[in-house]
Structure 1
Amino acid sequence: MRRTRSKTLAAWLAFIGGPLGLHRFYLRGLGDMLGWLLPVPTALGLYGIERVQQFGQDDVLSWLLIPLLGFTIAGCALTAIVYGLMPRERWNARFNPQSDPEAPAGGTSWLTIGAVVASLMIGTAVLMASIAFSFQRYFEYQIEEGRKISQ
């Protein structure tokens, strides 16, 4: 018999451990392919941060890799919001099909709302920072290339 999946725990796992795929493993098991693929953009983004520390902000590869981490974190925060706001009946039908539609595992508590609020705040900040960083670096690169052409 499959154990029931808690909406609150899934929302927190998506927010905190989402870039490592922890929420996917919790809900779908270790055979979930997307769960195993989620750490790839996370690792590439961390590698981009390492490259910035090593080569400076002019490293083109780093400004292509860093947003991968930001978008992964923001996507997992969005997943936590979706999980947290999902109605009890729909949650239980999707992740606890053996349970009663009104089972408490799909219920919303203050901890669930806390995960939604934290995901909204942090996810939005990380998304906006990733977009701003990548656009800034892209336009600075375009200006430098334009200067090279004009000389």
Structure 2
Amino acid sequence: MAIRHKNKTLSTLLAALFGGLGAHRFYLYGKKDVWAWVHVLALPLSIFAGFIGALVIGLTPDEKWDAQYNPQSGRSSNSGWAVILMVVVTFALGSTALIATIARAFDLYLTGGAFG
């Protein structure tokens, strides 16, 4: 039975888009991964964890990625510019979401939510 090659670009995309649901963890580790199910159960915090996961996956060097996830697949990863663009977009979305969350928290704390 051939070992399935795990694609770094697809993992980064799954973490960026569906990281809050743990899609990247299900792809990498399967349905028995406990942390993937924690993502599903704790969705609001998991969205930020998904953004961080996308950054970590996307910034992992291809050689280290292959050593960890594809040791016997017989193929090597060549992620290219697509991963870098996903990392930049993920960083922009994640930082925007974080700033919006902090602003809303201060709005609720200081004004009781008077501005929205």
The TM-score, its normalising length taken from structure 2, stands at 0.85
C-alpha displacement of 1:95? 1.1
Name the SS for the 1:35 alignment partner: helix
Distance 2:69 2:101 in 1: 32
Aligned pairs (5 A) from 1:91-110: 91-99=65-73, 103-105=75-77, 107-110=78-81
One-letter amino acid matched to 1:80? A
Name the SS for the 1:97 alignment partner: coil
Bigger proportion of residues as helix: 1
Name the SS for the 1:98 alignment partner: coil
Distance 2:71 2:109 in 1: 47
Asked if 1:88 corresponds to 2:65, the answer is no
Distance 1:104 1:131 in 2: 41
Match of 2:24 in 1: 23
Q: Give the conservation status (yes or no) of the 8 Å contact 2:21–2:46.
A: no
Gaps of 5+ in 1: 43-68, 142-151
Distance 1:138 1:40 in 2: 26
C-alpha displacement of 1:74? 2.4
Which of residues 66, 91, 101 is equivalent to 1:120?
Answer: 91
- CA deviations 1:38-65 (Å, max 9, x no partner) are 12222xxxxxxxxxxxxxxxxxxxxxxx
One-letter amino acid matched to 1:110? W
C-alpha displacement of 1:138? 2.0
Match of 2:40 in 1: 39
Computing the radius of gyration over CA atoms, which structure comes out larger, 1 or 2? 1
Name the SS for the 1:38 alignment partner: helix
- CA deviations 1:63-100 (Å, max 9, x no partner) are xxxxxx2x432221121111111111110111112146
% identical equivalent positions: 37
RMSD over equivalenced CA pairs, Å: 1.6
The TM-score, its normalising length taken from structure 1, stands at 0.67
Q: Give the conservation status (yes or no) of the 8 Å contact 1:73–1:126.
A: no
